[in-house]
Amino acid sequence: MSHPSQERFFKLPFTIVVSAIAAGLFAQACTSGTNTTTTSTNTTQTAASDAGLKLGSLLPVTGDLSAVGQNMPEAVTLAVDTINACGGVNGKPVTLVKEDDQTDPAAGASAMTKLAEVDKVAGVVGSFASSVSTAAVDIAVRDQVVLISPGSTSPVFTNQAKKGEFKGFWARTAPPDTYQAQALATLAHEKGFKNVATVVINNDYGVGFEQEFVKAFEKLGGNIVDKDKPVRYDPKAATFDSEASAAFNNKPDAVAAVLYSETGSLLIQSAYKQGLLKGVTLLLTDGVQTEEFTKAVGKTQDQKSIVSGALGTVPGADGKALAAFTTLWKDKTGKEITAYVPHTWDAAVLLMLAAEAAKANTGVGIQSKLRDVANAPGIEVSDACEAIALVKKGEDINYQGASGNVDIDENGDVFGSYDVWTVKDDGSIKTIDQVTPSR
């Protein structure tokens, strides 16, 4: 949970300050803090490069994924502040423009257009929801802005990248659900479940995950009881009674539920009220790995969490930079690290390292050097300031992140391991194991 002062911070509107012609005013805006949104009068990427690197964030501070997303903008801010404290990028401070995508594709597309065409950023950390990234990525590619998501895990993006649709302006620091679905299927198999149903949010994230899970679980010898009539819920629906009934009524051993927190809690509540959770294990994913979700679902009459005993997977963080980043995060925010915060930090750091390596504060420059700073060969380095210092000296580096080694392939994907988590009787969440799918 955020502290009250931090909650007020996230709810503040971002003021658009139109930059004056004088370069001194721009420099003042760069050093006045990352909460200021600055609109450049420059009309070309070359001019923007001369003014200094400008980045954006497009993340869910509000909406269906806000419980997971609220810490993400803070991680981007921390990364920018860290790099600025050790000299900035290409000799100037980095400016950050933060936008709330509201976990809504329309709002995300509007905000991405603003970032690309009004603020003229070179790179954006975002979005988290795959549906929002789907709406934003075409705008990013059109305007030659590099979009790095810390959590849009739909396999759709891999398929589009293979077709050359992104032209190298898309990447992500969390592995695609091709792998997480395999991990959840492996977990279900290891727990001895034979008959599993699925219920998913009807968007790129949910449907993509469902399809990969079905393939992986059947390959392991399992049976999907609702394969011929997959249950997919509309997050804008007034109720979820029929979807809950359809998913749980066939008496499966477990239900793989790929949900968003706010709407997913209502669906699980409905299943509970209909008496459908008895003897069924919930298999959950990263979208609901928060205590806000378990609290929203509620408690039984004996005051135990309705979802007690549920199992889930979430992309793990096991990078060489994790320990140092954990200390920094706690010192600066006073909070524990939550899911996807390390992935968000890595996305921001990679954008800045690539701009420095390109000697250009443009999307085209970042695109040209992103994989160079993320992948071998090069000096393995996990400290962000040390990494950018080496790049400034002209050294080749292989950045080792907090989330993992962030080796970005030709499709913009990374490979990772997954934490296994469970819900305790009091609604708290505990990591209990780790599972790594096969490539």
CATH class of 4-174+340-399: alpha beta
The answer to whether the CB of 72 falls within 8 A of the CB of 329 is: no
Cβ atoms of 281 and 307 within 8 Å: the answer is no
Which residue bears the tokens 């077709």?
Answer: 163
Q: What residue segments make up the domains of the chain, in order of their start?
A: 4-174+340-399, 178-317+417-435
* Closest C-alpha to 68, from 181, 205, 182: 205
**C-alpha–C-alpha distance, residues 127 and 146, integer Å:** 12
At 310-346, the pLDDT tens digits run 999 999 899 999 999 999 999 999 999 999 999 999 9
| Contacts of residue 168, Cβ cutoff 8 Å, sequence gap at least 6 | 367, 368, 370, 412
The letter for the amino acid at 433 is: D
Which strand (E) or helix (H) includes residue 23?
A: helix 23-31
Decide if 4-174+340-399 and 178-317+417-435 have a common fold.
yes
Per-residue pLDDT of the chain (439 residues; tens, 9 = 90+): 333 333 333 333 333 333 333 333 333 333 333 333 333 333 444 444 568 999 999 999 999 999 999 999 999 999 999 999 999 999 999 999 999 999 999 999 999 999 999 999 999 999 999 999 999 999 999 999 999 999 999 999 999 999 999 999 999 999 998 899 999 999 999 999 999 999 999 999 999 999 999 999 999 999 999 999 999 999 999 999 999 999 998 899 999 999 999 999 999 999 999 999 999 999 999 999 999 999 999 999 999 999 999 999 999 899 999 999 999 999 999 999 999 999 999 999 999 999 999 999 999 999 999 999 999 999 999 999 999 999 999 999 999 999 999 999 999 999 888 999 999 999 999 999 988 776 5
Which residue is listed with tokens 């395999």?
A: 182
The residues that bridge with 314 in the sheet, in sequence order, are 419
Q: HSE (CB half, 13 Å, CA atoms) of 24?
A: 0
**DSSP one-letter string for 204-255:** HHHHHHHHHHHHHHHHTT-EETTTTS-EEE-TT-S--HHHHHHHHTT--SEE
Beta pairing partners, 252? none
The Cα 148–Cα 128 span in angstroms is 10
Do residues 240 and 183 lie in contact, with contact meaning Cβ atoms separated by under 8 Å?
no
Pairing of strands 123-126, 281-284: unpaired
Enter the tokens of residue 31: 């050093």
The Cα–Cα gap between 225 and 353 comes to 48
Write down the CATH superfamily of domain 178-317+417-435. Response regulator (3.40.50.2300)
Contact 32, 96 (CB under 8 A): no
Residue 296's CB is within 10 A of a number of other CB atoms, namely 18
What's the CA gap between 17 and 292, in Å, rounded?
35
Using CA atoms, how far apart are residues 374 and 406, in angstroms rounded to an integer? 6
